[in-house]
Amino acid sequence: MADVLVIVPTFNEIESLPPLLTRLRAALPHADVLVVDDGSPDGTGALADEIASSDPGISVLHRRRKDGLGRAYLAGFARAAEHGYDFVAEIDADGSHDPDELVPMLALARQGADLVIGSRWVPGGAVRNWPLARQLISRAGNTYARIALRSSIRDITAGFRVFRTEALESLGDSVSSQGYCFQVEVAWRLERAARRIVEHPITFVERSRGRSKMHFGIVVEALLRVTQWGLLQRLGRR
């Protein structure tokens, strides 16, 4: 049985999903893949079922509606714990993350890291095809989160990760975020619990198919939540 489950959350990724799954299966032929589809109206879920029907290493979890990235990942984490996987990986469905990088990231997890982050903002990391404004927003957001949360993680918003399943289970029900700041909260809570976190440099490539789900409201939500967590952390310490 595979000891790694790779979770791929999807919503309207019918163009991007097939090439990503092909690359994933080539990079990690002995890992299992779970596609978590949020009722995509473009048929992504049905396409995922079709692909899974000819590959026993791929399964699909259907959710009725778009219900937040955080809930999609939590559903995947629960599946990993239920079936006894030792490691869980997160990867975007849009092709912006290189599945080949999961090989060294998993090696770091097997060497004892509780969380390995595919990081754009450490030496050796990079982004491609992003306008300068978006790079500045991402860097500024990570810098603000580090200061507000007193974190040492350079790319705390990154969505390309490998976890030790036991570390995720130790969080219990403490994670409350459902949007993109879910990534910030999970990493921050593991850091506060003194779990070992390693950042592995990656090159992030902007999607070439489909449409980005990022919008202004997501940025505002993350800013407000990070500010709230930072203030509560300081008040708690006092």
**What is the per-residue pLDDT across 186-225, written as a single tens digit (0 to 9) for each?**
999 999 999 999 999 999 998 665 555 555 566 667 777 7
What's the pLDDT at 157? 92
The pTM of this model reads: 0.91
- The mean pLDDT value of the chain amounts to 91
Output the six-digit token pair for 194.
């003194």
% of the chain with per-residue pLDDT over 70: 92
Give me the CATH number covering residue 133: 3.90.550.10
Cα separation, 25 vs 30, whole angstroms:
8
Domain carrying residue 172: 4-237
Closest Cα partner for 165 from 111, 106, 87?
87
Angle CA(202)–CA(205)–CA(208) in degrees, nearest 5?
Answer: 155
What's the pLDDT at 67? 81
Query: What DSSP designation does 175 have?
Result: -
Cα separation, 61 vs 122, whole angstroms:
34
> If you average pLDDT over residues 134-156, what whole number do you get?
90
> Are residues 88 and 76 in contact, defined by beta-carbon separation less than 8 angstroms?
yes
What dihedral do alpha carbons 133, 138, 140, 141 form, nearest 10°? 140
Domain count, the chain: 1
Cα separation, 181 vs 198, whole angstroms:
19
What's the pLDDT at 238? 44
